[in-house]
Amino acid sequence: MKAESRLKKVLSAGQFAVTAECGPPKGADPEAVRKKGSLLKGVVDSVNVTDNQTGVVRLCSLAACALLREEGLDPVLQMVVRDRNRIALQSDVLGASALGIRNILCLSGDHQSFGNQPDAKGVFDLDSIQLVQAVRQMRDEGRIVGGEELSSAPDIFIGAVANPFADPFSYRVLRLGKKVRAGAEFIQTQCIYNLPKFKDWMGQVRDRGIDGKVFILGGVTPLKSARMAEYMGQNVAGMDIPEEIIKRMKSVAPKEQRAEGLKICVETIQALREIPGIRGVHIMAIEWEEAVSRLVQEAGLLPRPEI
């Protein structure tokens, strides 16, 4: 049976899509991947697999996506441009398509200095937007960078990321437009805590008519503790966590903080459903994949539609 992108079908059918993230293990055991996959099956439409996130060596995204595909899930292959040159990147696109992986999310990647291999050479042969363009060209024209023809074109639903909270704020929407013109068909945003600022950004997105040209999924991450909230706000690049959220987390006893974090997350998802132009939610429950089904259920998004 020909592989298809469930994500693309759900979004094209006008349904509110749900995607989640799966972090591969720091080891070679495929069971770890299958286990996480089983927690997400039927709960979400598609599963992103991160690509050596924060420059930490993990089981590669391509292999993990292949494992999830075998389990009947619709994986989203995350590809960073930090570790591979254009030869390897385009080669992996062909490989992904051959394995029935139908979604690729193109991103820059966190700088290698943050990870466990800080002396590694950062490649950055292409940047994330050039990668989007390359994948689109491979799919639609059957050509690689430079124009040479492929023997058969890959079939990929192309995604990119957006961070409404990074600097310079005024330029962010322009850059989103650029990604869409380069070929991005769906966007997953950085996790949202500051709803007013996000709504402001979405307003600008709609003003430019970008919402009609690309499917935007709002990102969310449930907070596990007040300390996590503070840490992320201060140390993670491009993260905006308002004081009220941190105060709210602090106002409950440590034992209750996980539940409170989940509550805030559900509220955010529900708020996102009301924002025009938002076509889905992307849940990044890092090392807390068990929480995803609870979040999706409490947000009233189960069962997932039959497509």
Partner 1 sequence: MITAERKPLAEIKESIAPYKKLLVVGCGSCVAECASGGEKETALLASQLRMDARKEGRDLEIKEITIDRQCVYEFIDQLADAIDRYDAVLSLGCGAGVQAVAEVFGRTHVIPALNTTFIGQTKEAGLWIENCRACGDCKLDYFADVCPVTRCAKGLFNGPCGGSKEGKCEVDPDTPCAWQLIVTRLEERGKLDAMEKVYPPARWSRKGGKGPRKITREDQRA
Q: Which spans of this chain sit near partner 1 (rule: CB under 8 A)?
A: 82, 86, 108-111, 113-114, 122, 124-130, 133-134, 145, 161-163, 166-168, 170-171, 174-175, 177-178, 181-182, 190, 237-238
- Using the minimum distance from each CB to partner 1, give the nearer residue, 74 or 185: 185
- Using the minimum distance from each CB to partner 1, give the nearer residue, 118 or 254: 118
How near is the Cβ of 85 to partner 1 at its closest, in Å? 8
- Using the minimum distance from each CB to partner 1, give the nearer residue, 86 or 227: 86
How near is the Cβ of 3 to partner 1 at its closest, in Å? 29
- Using the minimum distance from each CB to partner 1, give the nearer residue, 178 or 206: 178
- Using the minimum distance from each CB to partner 1, give the nearer residue, 12 or 130: 130
Distance CA 292, CA 284 (A): 9
How near is the Cβ of 95 to partner 1 at its closest, in Å? 20
Residue 268 tokens read as: 């955010």
- Using the minimum distance from each CB to partner 1, give the nearer residue, 171 or 231: 171
How near is the Cβ of 266 to partner 1 at its closest, in Å? 25
How near is the Cβ of 48 to partner 1 at its closest, in Å? 16
How near is the Cβ of 161 to partner 1 at its closest, in Å? 7
